[in-house]
Amino acid sequence: MKKSSRVVSTLLLGATVASASTGVFAVESNKVIQEKLAGETRFETAVQVSEKFGEAETVVLVNYTGIADALAATPLAKMKNAPILLTESGSLTKATADQIEKLKAKNIIIIGGTTAVSENVEKQLKELGKTVERIAGEDRYTTAVEVAKNMGDVEKVAVVNGINGLADALSIAAPAAKEDMAIILSNGQNVEEGKEIVDKAKTKYAVGGQTVLSDELVNKIGAERIAGDNRNETNAEVLNKFYSETELDKVYVAKDGVGSANHTSSLVDALAAGPLAGKEAAPVMLVGSELANSQEAYLKLRTAQTLVEVGNGINQNSVQAIIKALEVKDVEEEAKIVSAKIINAGQVQVNFNKNVDKDSAETIDKYTLKGSEDGNLVVKSAKVKNDGKAVILTLDEGKTYKNQQNIDIKVENILAADKVKKFPKFETTERLLDTEVPVIKEVKQVGPRQFDLVFNEPVKEGAKFDIQIKQGNNVYTVANKEFNYAENTVTINTGVDLADGAYNLQVGEGSFVDFVGLKSDAMEKELTVKKDTSEVVMSEATSIGNVATINFNKKVKNFTNANVKYYLDYVNEANEFVGQVQTAEGTTDKIDVKFNKLITPGKHKVIIKYADENEVKIEDLWGNKLASGEIAFEVENDTKAPTVSKVEYKDSNKIEVDFSKNVKGADDISAYELKNSKGEKIAISNVKYDASAYKATLTVGKIEGVHNLVVKGDKIIDTTINENKLAEVSFEIVAPDKTPATIKKAVIGGENQNKMTIEYSEAMKTSGSGSILDKSLYEVKIGGQWINLNTIDDAKIELIGSDSSKVKVTLPEEKQLDVTTPVRVGPVQDLAGNTAPIGETVTIEAVEKDAVTIEDEANVVDKNKLEIITEATIKDVSKIKVTKDDDTQLNIASYDVSKTDEGKTKLTLTFTKVDNNDNFTTNPSGNIKVKFEDGAAITELGTSKGFDDFKALALVDKISPEYVKDSAKAIKNAEGKLETVELSFSEKLKGVNEFSFEVEGFKVKEAACDENGKVILTLDTKSQEEATNLDKVVIKQVAKITDANDNEIKGFTAEAKVEAKTEEAVVTKVEVAGQSNVTIPGADNVSETYIATVKDQNGAAISGQNVVWSVTSATGVTINPSTGELTVDNTAIAGTITVTATVGTVTGTITVTLV
């Protein structure tokens, strides 16, 4: 398929003529216009999007964390020609209120219940004179149904997972608005709410893979599944489905939320754009750190007038990749898989339109075959045909397959020959219909007694194996045989050499069977035996990494004999030139030889030489010997970086990571980071790397739900001489939730111990069977008796927070809860439908009395800023006191209150500097002491009493290291070549290596950082052809760098002044008071001061600014580290002390006697 381009015809014609010889050319389209709709906050970004509506009679209002509500509301908003604006739960956000007035909106539609958008917000809107309508259900599922009902009769519906599948579902919001399509939420297994809407719809889509929407559900509702391997691939699938036009007016782009500390806010940007994109019939592309291959493939087939960024923080590399894909159009056909055909009972041929990368195409786990009768089929081998555009898959010979069954074939993650382009995933169903019996197509003589029988298909030994070779009265039988299923050959050996002449090969009926059990007929073949006297030669050599592959013109043996020597480039017994054969001894026409160094790009040769020319040599099966010799080959300079082609969750504790090529470092645990949806790190206990399959297998603890895996770019390189680096990439993993919830904590409070909060370990059902709001599922203990909550008049249970994991129970005041065991909970269900066993109580991990509490750690986020986490609501910051460990009080200059992803209160305090000095360093440690006085905060159960004593909180370093201004210098060696670059940071850096920094115009060979944060970059002087005359060089950060606590430096760049290398002074003499042997009397009532000095090898004094002084610990003795002033006071004790002078890395000492 050829790509089109919106350019004037004369330009296109010129490009065609210029490229006629290649058939491939690139032309440039009209330049894409860039726009941006973004504010400083998520609320203001939504405001910026709404500006495009001009005036709007109606506005749809959702909670700023309400992804599910905004998703369901998007098509309704478009129908009402209404923008979506965001608000906080408790009060109407000012930016939103101002915009409602600016839009001249009369009607406000609130989506969600009073927990999501409170009654106070509704009141504020009415005070502004607005007509307010609330569309809400008991939870997100029923809310989505109510929204759909307000859309009227809909013919199209999209079903998404209401919890684990929202990232995938984001992509359907704009198309749903464009198509007037309702969005219904499911738990992944069935549609409990909105079933009637789904049943009535004529067209149904299921958005998301099997881990979020089961096959059973998709089949039951009769939906078309739209899914990719991750949210970006799903996004591309959605765009291909609903935006097939080749000429687009606009493309909106928003963050996909992967890797974001608060992925919710990142995702809201995309949903704010939904109604506008739906109104304009424009696609919304979700991007992360790089453009997915399938997204790029979609864009390359299209042009667009305008690209609109929605929100701040969108990766600009991805934005530029979008622009490039839209602007530059290759006429070259896109890589695609043309077909997959069953060619016989045991083989499938996959056909490509371009040459494939042999390494990825011959990796068997790229192929999945499933039979309607036999279930999953095992692929034993994958072989690329000589044309490079077809792969033959051979099934497991250990099984007989049922004929006339359907085979589902899936092929994915195959790279083209350039190792960059990836063939899109291909799926088809073919019928296994084999009616041909095994037939010998050809007989090849491969030795004096060895013959290859080449069949039309792979065969196995039949029930009655009967083969004879006849010549007159002489009859020869088969002594042994070897089956090569991938090559469709059987090698037979007669046990004796056959003389030259004509023979008759006779094969008895049923000697062979194919993979569906069809037996071979009786066969005869004329056979001419002739001794082969041709020479054995090396026909070709190739290499990958440090392994050379040598091809021979015929099958050979003896290649592992100790008399055979292999050398790379030169006959040299040094280890780096001597090779070791990796292929097992036998008969073969191809061997692998491993050398002790990488085979670099350029021209090379493999030399085969014999230690003794009269001893064993490589020879063919007739005894023709290979003469000592060499074969030349050339290695291309591979500058292509490895990529991660696939990440797959295999079971409860295994994750597989596939790479595009062989890499080093993939077995390093530190190369990976796994986090759950709350941003908490999940331990990786083990990593194994399979170099033959380019696959790393990570062993993790049991995981469930949505997780994010980061593969770090500074850890993994390919095996080429260039050691090309992997770019950091992250993947979303969705693991099925199979574990029932537990109760993390039950807290008792209220004036009469009549109130309680119950916090579950995960989000729970809030409607239907197993709802945590069902009072009949709770028993409370009052006066030693268990009483069902449903039987207590005026007892209330209500939801707290927005993630449906916490409830509040309120009893009449006269009902006092038992402090020790206040509650028993029955079969409540989590969102995945997991239920505690019927009749058993849910496990309660802790029961606590209500109190204002703060967490045990405080995050230092700036040198004068601290974060404190509490579950209480802050009421009066003036009643919060903070001191350092030494009781120095810190004065609060300002504060900010926000919510964490878990719904807790995050109090950020900014302190005034003390004597213009910062309160914290970039590497804080120790404790801070905090006290909440009465009235500083109030709990959910109404307790406002503070705590009597200061609480010590451990300081957690959340500050990025800082570059020490003007510390960078570049040092030339005696030849005038740049040898090292030195620069300093405020603390020690982690992960510094030769790939961390780039020195413009020079190659970094080594890099290290010491304990004090000093970084030394060692440059490659051999690659510098001449002395440098630069007076400064630019240093840039090019890889991820962090401190010990993973606080990252981003976008660092600095200039380093070029200096000549100075010889380091040699300390030869240290003196105190001008003497080398010093006796000092102790002072009586005052302190005495003596000056220490140091001299170099020439006897010259070394300046004080280059010397650091120290002294051994002794009572009454101190030394100024900068000036060398040695002070002895009247508390000094007789004895000896050692004074040390340090100049650079050299030290000198003097012993001083005190009397």
Question: Mean pLDDT throughout 756-773?
Answer: 89
Residue 33 is predicted with a pLDDT of 83
Which stretch of 572-576, 742-746, 1011-1015 has the lowest confidence by average pLDDT? 572-576
Tokens of 497: 């050499």
Partner residues linked to 1153 by β-bridges: 1079, 1136
Q: Where in the chain is the domain with CATH 2.60.40.1220?
A: 337-432, 444-529, 538-635, 644-715, 969-1060
Tokens of 937: 């905060």
Residue 8 is predicted with a pLDDT of 26
Burial of 612 (0-12, 13-18, 19+ CB in 10 A): exposed
Token match 């006429």: residue? 331
Residues 467 and 477 sit within 8 Å (Cβ to Cβ) = yes
Residue 147 is predicted with a pLDDT of 96
Q: What are 697-743's pLDDT values in tens digits?
A: 999 987 887 888 999 977 899 887 777 888 888 888 888 778 888 88
Question: Mean pLDDT throughout 1091-1109?
Answer: 71
Tokens of 817: 């809860």
The rounded distance, in Å, linking the Cα atoms of 962 and 983 is 11
Evaluate if residue 61 carries a pLDDT over 60: yes
With bands split at pLDDT 50, 70 and 90, how would you rate the model's confidence at 479? Answer: very high
- B/e letters for 903-937, b = 16+ CB within 10 Å, e = fewer, are eebbbbbebeeeeeeebbebbbeebbbbbbbeebb
Residues 438 and 517 sit within 8 Å (Cβ to Cβ) = no
Residue 11 is predicted with a pLDDT of 25
Q: Which helix (H) or strand (E) holds 1143?
A: strand 1135-1143
CATH topology (fold) of 337-432: Immunoglobulin-like (2.60.40)
Greater model confidence, 84 or 575: 84
Residues 1041 and 1121 sit within 8 Å (Cβ to Cβ) = no
What is the CATH code for 743-849? Answer: 2.60.40
Which stretch of 159-163, 557-561, 853-857 has the lowest confidence by average pLDDT? 159-163
If you write DSSP's letter for every residue of 887-934 in order, what string do you get? -PBPPEEEEEEEE-TTS-EEEEEEE--BTTB-SS-SS--SEEEEEE-T
Q: What are 785-808's pLDDT values in tens digits?
A: 999 999 999 999 999 877 788 999
Q: What are 101-118's pLDDT values in tens digits?
A: 999 999 999 999 998 899
Residues 395 and 401 sit within 8 Å (Cβ to Cβ) = yes
Q: Where in the chain is the domain with CATH 2.60.40.10?
A: 1069-1154
Evaluate if residue 595 carries a pLDDT over 80: yes
What is the CATH code for 854-957? Answer: 2.60.40
End-to-end CA distance of the chain: 96
Helices (H), 938-1031: none
With bands split at pLDDT 50, 70 and 90, how would you rate the model's confidence at 26? Answer: very low
**Alpha carbons within 13 A on the beta-carbon side of 28:** 5
What is the CATH code for 1069-1154? Answer: 2.60.40.10
Nearest to residue 764, comparing CAs of 831, 709, 692, 711?
Answer: 831
Mean pLDDT rounded to a whole number for the chain: 87
Q: What are 236-255's pLDDT values in tens digits?
A: 999 999 998 888 999 999 98
Highest mean pLDDT out of 814-818, 870-874, 901-905 = 870-874
Nearest to residue 765, comparing CAs of 183, 158, 137?
Answer: 137
Residue 6 is predicted with a pLDDT of 29
Nearest to residue 271, comparing CAs of 433, 65, 108?
Answer: 65
Which stretch of 310-314, 504-508, 604-608 has the lowest confidence by average pLDDT? 310-314
Q: What are 904-956's pLDDT values in tens digits?
A: 899 999 999 988 889 999 999 899 999 999 999 999 899 999 998 999 999 99
Q: In what order do the strands lie in the sheet with 796-799?
A: 796-799, 806-810, 755-760, 743-749, 847-849
Q: What are 486-538's pLDDT values in tens digits?
A: 999 999 999 999 999 999 999 999 999 999 999 999 999 999 999 999 999 99
Nearest to residue 1123, comparing CAs of 1112, 1102, 1139, 1108?
Answer: 1108
DSSP state of 1052: -
Evaluate if residue 958 carries a pLDDT over 90: yes
The proportion of the chain whose per-residue pLDDT surpasses 70, expressed as a percent, equals: 92
Evaluate if residue 839 carries a pLDDT over 60: no
Highest mean pLDDT out of 45-59, 703-717, 1033-1047, 1061-1075 = 45-59
The rounded distance, in Å, linking the Cα atoms of 495 and 480 is 8
To 5 degrees, how large is the angle CA 572–CA 576–CA 579?
Answer: 80
Residue 317 is predicted with a pLDDT of 86
> Which amino acid, one-letter code, is at 454?
V
Greater model confidence, 737 or 765: 765
Residue 718 is predicted with a pLDDT of 87
If you write DSSP's letter for every residue of 806-857 in order, what string do you get? EEEEE--TT-PBPSSS-EEE-S-BBTT--BPPTTSPPPB--EEE----EEEE
The rounded distance, in Å, linking the Cα atoms of 911 and 272 is 36
Greater model confidence, 359 or 444: 444
What number of residues does the chain have?
A: 1155
Query: Reduced to 3 states, what is the DSSP secondary structure of residue 530?
Result: coil
Residue 949 is predicted with a pLDDT of 92
pTM for this predicted structure: 0.44
Tokens of 992: 């510094």
Evaluate if residue 423 carries a pLDDT over 80: yes
Whole-number Cα distances in Å, 411 to 200, 338, 905, 1110? 35, 11, 48, 69
CATH topology (fold) of 444-529: Immunoglobulin-like (2.60.40)
Residue 30 is predicted with a pLDDT of 52
Residues with Cβ within 8 Å of 703's Cβ and at least 6 positions away in sequence, in order, are 649, 652, 653, 674, 676, 682, 733, 735
Residue 259 is predicted with a pLDDT of 56
The rounded distance, in Å, linking the Cα atoms of 314 and 42 is 13
Residue 705 is predicted with a pLDDT of 78
Greater model confidence, 938 or 1112: 938
Nearest to residue 1054, comparing CAs of 999, 1133, 1103, 1128?
Answer: 999
Whole-number Cα distances in Å, 388 to 343, 382, 495, 510, 866? 18, 13, 38, 35, 61
Tokens of 562: 């100790």
The rounded distance, in Å, linking the Cα atoms of 475 and 468 is 7
Residue 1103 is predicted with a pLDDT of 65
Residue 636 is predicted with a pLDDT of 80
Class for the domain spanning 538-635? mainly beta
CATH topology (fold) of 969-1060: Immunoglobulin-like (2.60.40)
Tokens of 774: 């069902």
Residue 572 is predicted with a pLDDT of 85
With bands split at pLDDT 50, 70 and 90, how would you rate the model's confidence at 421? Answer: confident
644-715 to CATH, choices 2.40.110.10, 3.40.50.10470, 2.60.40.1220, 3.40.366.10: 2.60.40.1220
Residue 707 is predicted with a pLDDT of 86
Backbone angles phi, psi at 137, to 5 degrees: -120, -170
Evaluate if residue 600 carries a pLDDT over 90: no
To 5 degrees, how large is the angle CA 758–CA 760–CA 766?
Answer: 90
Q: What are 148-187's pLDDT values in tens digits?
A: 999 999 999 999 998 877 777 789 999 999 999 999 999 8
Question: Mean pLDDT throughout 1052-1065?
Answer: 81
If you write DSSP's letter for every residue of 981-1006 in order, what string do you get? EEEEBSS--BS--TTTEEETTB-EEE
With bands split at pLDDT 50, 70 and 90, how would you rate the model's confidence at 24? Answer: very low
Evaluate if residue 22 carries a pLDDT over 60: no
Partner residues linked to 651 by β-bridges: 654
With bands split at pLDDT 50, 70 and 90, how would you rate the model's confidence at 17? Answer: very low
The rounded distance, in Å, linking the Cα atoms of 76 and 85 is 14
The proportion of the chain whose per-residue pLDDT surpasses 90, expressed as a percent, equals: 56
Question: Mean pLDDT throughout 572-578?
Answer: 83
Nearest to residue 1155, comparing CAs of 1120, 1128, 1126, 1125?
Answer: 1128
Question: Mean pLDDT throughout 84-109?
Answer: 94
Residue 912 is predicted with a pLDDT of 94
Backbone angles phi, psi at 96, to 5 degrees: -70, -45
Q: What are 900-910's pLDDT values in tens digits?
A: 877 789 999 99
Q: What are 1123-1150's pLDDT values in tens digits?
A: 778 788 777 777 888 888 887 767 788 8
Partner residues linked to 897 by β-bridges: 907
Q: What are 351-403's pLDDT values in tens digits?
A: 999 999 888 899 898 999 999 999 999 999 999 998 889 999 999 999 999 99
The rounded distance, in Å, linking the Cα atoms of 777 and 788 is 8
